[in-house]
Amino acid sequence: MSVAFDTVIHGGTLVTHYTTEKSDIGISEGKITAIGTVPKSTAKENIDARGLHVLPGVIDSQVHFREPGNEHKEDMESGSKAAILGGVTTVFEMPNTAPPTTTVASFNDKLSRARGRYLCDYGFFIGACEENIRDLSTLEKLPGCVGVKIFMGSSTGTLLIPDDHLLREVLASGTRRAAVHAEDEERLNARLPIRNSGGGPELHPQWRDVKTALLATERLIKLARICERPVHVLHITTRDEIAFLRNAGDIATAECTPQHLTLSAPECYEHLGTYAQMNPPIRDEEHRMGLWQGIADGTVNVIGSDHAPHTKAEKDLGYPDSPSGMPGVQTLLPIMLDHVNAGRLTLERLVELTSAGPSQLYGTTQKGIIKIGYDADLTLVDLNRKMTISKDWIASKCGWSPFLEKKVKGWPVATILRGNVVMRDDQIIGGPIGKAVAFGNP
Ligand code: DOR
């Protein structure tokens, strides 16, 4: 038989967001060109996936890679190495760099820095600020742009849309789904004395309390409905927001992080100190369980890592001088596979949350689904492999993870980007072939 495919992946169990079945996959010129039974003789290269699950490449739709401006924490190369080692084929990167990504020039600067440096595929968010409100509807259509990111409460960096007046203007300027960090700035400011009262990071969820998150999410949904602008609420942390967003599917989608689904207060602050400090904060068990309820009932649409590396020296400054954020792009999949093995969600639901979900929500045209004609982005996982998350494996420049020494069951064993094997058995293969993602009808 003549050679018809560049690569055939044989004998794996293919998992999509709606089905699990044994199937081969044929790949030609970086695209999926056959799904079903594909004879080995038809390929230039065969990959043996017997005993493995073949998932659509994982999309981490919330990462902070710190370039430009804070490359001592992370840069495009180190961040994207961490991504492919963790089975992630595409990242969407946030705009709170220095300078922030708020103009055509700063957006194009990111695109040109990325060329020849990224090991995975990528898209970049545009940050909303007071100065660019009128330009947002144009900026969100730039090739490679995921959409607009709005910070309603201050976090790392300078981006901020602090009140309803500005928020309404931002929501009225553009049509694509906007991603939102929902914490109420006025309440955060009013409660600063709590943060500054001399305690440690256990104060963080008291300062940035449940009401701070819920209030902002309620304000956002009200204005989104008035402006008829779809929004995506990032890193939900409260049971209360899940209950509220359950009835907001007409206008809003929702995201959780593996950290908020795995860690809880007070233990995380006792064990990890400021290394567990992030915005919005890790909360108690009641809220963690509320988030799992949102995973179970469909309220949550996406899991993103909010990969936000800071150096150990910065974290060791002590609360409240320590910056907020934890790395997560490399551990997203292992941590979530461990939850799958523990029976907390199915593998199909995980695929929905980490591939099909982010792809559909932000409107990629080629990613997140195992389908003929789509990019051959695939993550091969060994659901039975038991591993310990070790410092040696971590590629992020920050050199730590909140999950160090955690034992997990389930591990990514190969990452395939547009038909190229870029990671196999924890080793990076080849160079930086990452490309900007295409979005449809932006
Ligand atoms: O904890 C956080 N860190 N939350 C954010 O919203 C930003 C992030 C960062 O960039 O450090």
Q: pLDDT by residue (tens digit) across 30-53? A: 999 999 999 888 899 999 999 999
Q: Which two tokens stand for residue 263?
A: 């860690």
Domain that holds residue 382: 5-54+371-428
Residue 441 lies in a domain: no
Instruction: Judge if 211 and 250 occupy the same domain.
Output: yes
CB-ligand 1 contact for 307 (6 Å cutoff): no
* Closest residue CA from atom 7 of ligand 1: 156
Of 6, 24, 184, 306, the active-site residue reads 306
* 22 & 70 share domain: no
Shared domain check, 279 and 236: yes
Token pair in block for residue 287: 């809220």
The residue assigned the tokens 């789509």 is: 374
Whether 440 maps to a domain, the answer reads no
Dist CA 255 CA 233 (whole Å):
6
Same domain? 224 vs 295: yes
- Give the tokens for residue 53: 């699950």
CB 13 within 8 A of CB 34: no
pLDDT at residue 441 tops 70: no
- Same domain (yes/no): 415, 295: no
* Residues 36 and 21 occupy one common structural domain: yes
In this structure, the answer to whether residues 188 and 289 fall within a common structural domain is yes
Q: Are 297 and 252 in contact (CB under 8 A)?
A: no
435 is written with which tokens? 């490309």
User: Are residues 83 and 206 part of one domain?
Assistant: yes
pLDDT tens profile 179-213? 999 999 999 999 999 999 999 999 999 999 999 99
The answer to whether the CB of 212 falls within 8 A of the CB of 183 is yes
Q: What does pLDDT average to over the chain? A: 97
Distance of CA 260 from the midpoint of ligand 1 (Å): 14
Residues 269 and 152 in one domain: yes
> Distance, CA 144 to ligand 1 centroid (Å)?
22
The token pair at 231 is 């929004």
pLDDT tens for residues 111-132?
999 999 999 999 999 999 999 9
What are the residues facing 24 on neighbouring strands?
A: 36
438 found inside a domain: no
Task: Kindly state whether residue 433 falls inside one of the protein's structural domains.
Answer: no
Q: For residue 274, is it within any domain? A: yes
Please give the average per-residue pLDDT across 323-328, as a whole number: 98
Counting the structural domains of the chain, the total is 2
* 109 a catalytic residue: no
90: left (phi over 0), alpha (psi -120 to 50) or beta: beta
* pLDDT, tens digit, 9 for 90 and up, residues 65-107: 999 999 999 999 999 999 999 999 999 999 999 999 999 999 9
* pLDDT reported for residue 42: 87
Q: Are residues 92 and 185 in the same domain?
A: yes
Residues 355 and 248 in one domain: yes
Please give the pLDDT value at position 2: 64
One-letter amino acid at 126 equals I
Please indicate, yes or no, whether residues 47 and 150 belong to a single structural domain of this protein: no
